[in-house]
Chain A
Amino acid sequence: MRNRLPAGLAPAVLAVGALAIVVLPLVGLVQRAPWSTLGRDLRAHDAFTALRLSVVTSLGALGVSVLFGVPLAWVLARRVFPGRALVRALVTLPMVLPPVVGGIALLYAFGRQGFAGRILYDVTGWRFVFNTSGAILAETFVAMPFLIVTAESAFRSMDRRAEEAAATLGARPAYRFRRVTLPAVAPALAAGGALTWARALGEFGATITFAGNFSGTTQTTPLLVYLDIESGNEATALALSLVLLAVSLVVLVGLRDRWIGKV
């Protein structure tokens, strides 16, 4: 008889490995953090500017995503049209596309020499590049799929019978949507919105490629973290990283019922 490990030990050991990969970097971040100078580091001009810009752009991206993404999710869930599967695939593409590639793609579309950007510039004088709106567009490109996917699934899986009942009570589509559909999907929309916002807040690749890296206009927090680390300004980089980590944790805890509570 060979000696055998107790049943279940092997997976447990491997599971600890997985945990180590995820947790140890966070430990590294926290133990190197300049706790004593944290407040001062965050109030430094560059850091504060980047944080403020991040709040503006990530909320902007969330707003644009809600404005355009929720209707698209509704159409995908409720309307049958040719090419729907293709549209659905295209919409989710940014979730798997390397963000840098997304940034380059945005450049060729909405950059000043991009086919759409040039027309826009010629007609209105508006440009996305080197402009805060460019950062918002880049973040939206990367983050909106999270909202669309969540919202579409909610629109698709909600109980349609209540909508039918509302129609027989004389409720027109807009009223129905507001008083029956929206309340039914609200929890899912909130969760999708939180994910979208968190993703937009952490966006790096597409933003730096498309919008550039200019303090006050396009230099969001992740961009500044990278710049600070590269230029040896470790304290600020760590302080900002902690902020981003804290925000991520808050979002996760807020979503715990949806993502971690359920088994």
Chain B
Amino acid sequence: MIPRLQAVLFLILLIASLVMGAILFHMREKAHDRMLAGQDAAPTQAPQVAAPEQARLFVASDEDNTLRPLVYSLPLPSDPGARGKAILGKLLDLYSATDALHPVPGGAASVEQVFLLPAHGNAANAAAQKDSGDELAVINLKGSFAASHPSGLETETLTVLSICDTLHANLPRVTEVRFLVDGEVRESLAGHADLTRTYLTSDAERADVTKP
């Protein structure tokens, strides 16, 4: 037999839990709506009016599994996130061209957003990394890009490495890159390249299997 006091206490706790759950759900919905409204209202800087600058792109080639550094003159916004998005847009535009050596459909519209956050690294050197100003780039890709990306170890790896290398070349503070697809973590790009992990921009330097 459960004492009356315990039964009442249990009931109170249960009701409190349900109320808190409902409040949290309501707050989450409101935050989501606020975020969407903010996105719509966010002022965007038209790259066309910005002065052209030199951007270094690492363009992948399926033929020899390499990344070739190419310099393009692009109108780039001053905001680092928008700058990263514009540069990656140009890279993906090259891949969507008919004569591309690394053909991937989608083009510039495939990059939804690029966020820059302080890099955390591993727990041991987190403080040192915070002081160094290293940044983590979070790249939100469109689901249509992942869905139409050719499947294969080589082609997916080249896409990931070329994005990481290109970002680091133009935003040197970016040392880590994470990928989202439609705002969510996705297991792989098209069945192979792992998108759940944080990529270090130094990964691309290790891409040569002959170097231990």
Q: Verify that A and B bind, or say they do not.
A: no
Interface positions of A (Cβ within 8 A of B): none
